[in-house]
């Protein structure tokens, strides 16, 4: 089990390119199972989660290879409809293969994706929607056995909650369904619009992605296309939090400013200033951050739950009290106890975390329990006195393309052991 060793209080400087978005690449790779021919996906981040998706595509009978920053998927016909347990358990992103396989083969067998440390992650909204489209879904011994004996039929679907994964699953199921699907209360995350763009390049007819109502007119078949994945807004937010906690000025290259619309103001409240130039964003952080008062996670375009952990690490060393309200996942403060080991003053109660800023954090041995918790501990290590050892680095690799190399190129003293 590898660890990261960080010696804190090093100022960062320079510029960093933002990776492609993990949460766009995963559904786009699942969509590649739907389209015949050879798709080229540019700016696909090199992560263990995307590797898992490529392994699932290979298992299903597609060719999948990396060529530099791009991934080439050759699909001459998906031969299998089941996804082995070992592959689905590795990433939640695999659930979105359900809609694609049902649409392509009328059959799908997939193990219930493991819950993870941020909550039990049910998929009831996915199942309810696919059943409304004509799927017969049986849950037995942790396996989902799904059939669409008469194919999938377009219909009206209203989501109880704007679930990102359910929205994507429905889009993939509806793209080649018989008739039109209207999806209301759809998730509005930028990754949804990115998936729609790829599907439409392949010949789908998806309208309104990015809004609360999406209309999908089923088409007969989809054929491969090229697509470039949008920048990862959460990876960008993580680098901004690292700059904020170290009083640094850095420039991020390749951002889409509108995707950071809820994140930048929170860091501005903390005293950071920003300048924008085309697709570059420069952050200048003060020596000492001010508290952000209240940070409430919400579905997009609200403050993203995935940015909560790294921003909470910044709040831990800000002047004053910051109250976090985590509205999306029920157990997403696992990083708090580890930050307290480093001297942070954090009290959590259900959705709430009350963070009293302290003068400084101190290096300690800490353990990551999930992807964004790992990012929070790295950010904390960058500003702590002394040395911090972060274990559970494999969580980091799920969502960040060599974060430690990016940070050391910016001047951080961070190495993997």
- Min separation Cβ 112 and ligand EPZ, Å: 11
Beta strand ranges found along 235-391 (DSSP E):
249-253, 273-277, 280-284, 289-290, 294-297, 318-319, 321-326, 345-349, 352-356, 365-367, 387-391
**How many chain residues are in contact with ligand EPZ, going by CB under 6 A?**
26
Cα separations (Å) of 190 from 62, 119, 164, 184, 256? 27, 23, 10, 17, 10
Q: Compare residues 51 and 178 and give the one whose CB is closer to ligand EPZ.
A: 51
Collapsed DSSP state (helix, strand, coil) of residue 191: helix
How far apart are the C-alpha atoms of 328 and 308, rounded to whole Å? 11
Q: How many Cα atoms within 13 Å fall on the side-chain side of residue 124? A: 4
- Contact pick of 4, 73, 229, 328 for ligand EPZ (by CB under 6 A): 328
- Contact pick of 8, 165, 271, 343 for ligand EPZ (by CB under 6 A): 165
Q: Where are the alpha helices (DSSP H) in 144-189?
A: 164-174
- One-character DSSP codes across 304-346: -GGGHHHHHHHHTTEESEEEEEE-S-TT--HHHHHHHHTT-EE
Residue 333 interacts with ligand EPZ (CB under 6 A)? no
- Contact pick of 3, 10, 90, 92 for ligand EPZ (by CB under 6 A): 92
Scan residues 369-408 and list those touching ligand EPZ (CB under 6 A). 371-372, 399
- Tokens in use for 241? 């939090």
- Min separation Cβ 250 and ligand EPZ, Å: 22
Q: Compare residues 271 and 400 and give the one whose CB is closer to ligand EPZ.
A: 400
- Min separation Cβ 110 and ligand EPZ, Å: 14
Residue 93 interacts with ligand EPZ (CB under 6 A)? yes
How far apart are the C-alpha atoms of 396 and 302, rounded to whole Å? 24
Q: Compare residues 70 and 235 and give the one whose CB is closer to ligand EPZ.
A: 235
- Contact pick of 19, 23, 53, 181 for ligand EPZ (by CB under 6 A): 23
Q: How many other C-beta atoms are found inside a 10 Å radius of the C-beta of residue 120?
A: 10
- Min separation Cβ 297 and ligand EPZ, Å: 9
Using Cβ positions, the residue closest to ligand EPZ within the complex turns out to be: 165
Which entry of 116, 146, 202, 383 is annotated as an active-site residue?
116
Q: Compare residues 104 and 126 and give the one whose CB is closer to ligand EPZ.
A: 126
Residue 53 interacts with ligand EPZ (CB under 6 A)? no
From 19-27, 194-202, 268-276, 337-345, give the range in contact with ligand EPZ by CB under 6 A.
19-27
How far apart are the C-alpha atoms of 180 and 187, rounded to whole Å? 19
- Min separation Cβ 196 and ligand EPZ, Å: 15
Scan residues 114-143 and list those touching ligand EPZ (CB under 6 A). 119, 121-126
Tokens 């929070």 correspond to 376
Residue 306 interacts with ligand EPZ (CB under 6 A)? yes
Please give the helix or strand (H or E) that residue 48 lies within, else none. Answer: helix 48-60
Name the phi and psi angles at 136, rounded to 5: -105, 115
Please give the helix or strand (H or E) that residue 7 lies within, else none. Answer: strand 3-7
Name the phi and psi angles at 36, rounded to 5: -85, 150
Q: Compare residues 310 and 381 and give the one whose CB is closer to ligand EPZ.
A: 310
Q: Does the annotation mark 383 as catalytic?
A: no
Q: Which residues are catalytically annotated?
A: 116
Interface residue list for ligand EPZ (CB under 6 A): 22-23, 26, 92-93, 119, 121-126, 161, 163-166, 187, 189, 305-306, 328-329, 371-372, 399
């Amino acid at each position: 089990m590898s660890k990261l060793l960080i010696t804190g209080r090093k100022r960062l400087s320079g510029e960093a390119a933002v990776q492609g978005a993990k949460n766009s690449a995963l559904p786009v790779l699942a969509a590649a199972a739907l389209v015949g021919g050879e798709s080229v996906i540019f700016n696909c981040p090199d992560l263990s989660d995307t590797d898992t998706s490529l392994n699932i595509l290979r298992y299903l009978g597609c060719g999948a290879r990396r060529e530099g920053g791009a991934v080439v998927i050759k699909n001459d016909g998906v031969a299998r409809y089941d996804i082995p347990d070992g592959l689905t358990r590795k990433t939640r992103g695999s659930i979105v293969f359900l809609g694609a396989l049902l649409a392509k083969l009328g059959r799908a067998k997939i193990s219930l994706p493991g819950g993870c440390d941020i909550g039990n992650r049910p998929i009831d909204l996915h199942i309810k929607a696919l059943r409304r489209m004509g799927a017969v879904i049986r849950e037995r011994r942790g396996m989902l056995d799904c059939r669409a004996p008469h194919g999938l039929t377009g219909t009206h679907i209203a989501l109880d909650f704007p679930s990102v994964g359910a929205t994507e699953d429905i889009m993939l199921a509806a793209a080649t369904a018989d008739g039109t699907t209207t999806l209301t209360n759809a998730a509005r995350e930028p990754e949804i619009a990115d998936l729609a763009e790829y599907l439409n390049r392949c010949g789908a007819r998806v309208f309104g992605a990015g809004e609360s109502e999406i209309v999908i007119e089923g088409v007969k078949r989809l054929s491969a296309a090229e697509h470039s994945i949008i920048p990862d807004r959460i990876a960008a937010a993580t680098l901004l939090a690292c700059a904020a906690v170290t009083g640094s000025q850095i420039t991020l290259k390749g951002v889409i400013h509108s995707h950071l619309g809820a994140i930048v103001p929170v860091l501005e409240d903390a005293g950071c200033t920003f300048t924008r130039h085309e697709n570059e964003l420069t952050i200048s952080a003060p020596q000492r951050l001010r508290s952000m008062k209240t940070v409430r996670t919400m579905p997009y375009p609200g403050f993203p739950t995935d940015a909560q952990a790294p921003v909470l690490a910044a709040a831990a060393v800000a002047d004053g009290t910051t109250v976090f309200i985590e509205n999306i996942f029920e157990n997403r403060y696992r990083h708090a106890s580890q930050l307290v080991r480093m001297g942070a003053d954090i009290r959590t109660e259900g959705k709430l975390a009350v963070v009293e800023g302290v003068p400084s954090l101190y290096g300690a041995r800490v353990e990551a329990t999930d992807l964004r918790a790992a990012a929070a501990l790295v950010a904390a290590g960058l500003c702590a006195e002394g040395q911090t050892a972060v274990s559970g680095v494999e969580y980091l690799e799920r969502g960040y393309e060599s974060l430690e190399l990016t940070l050391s190129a910016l001047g951080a003293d961070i190495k993997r052991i």
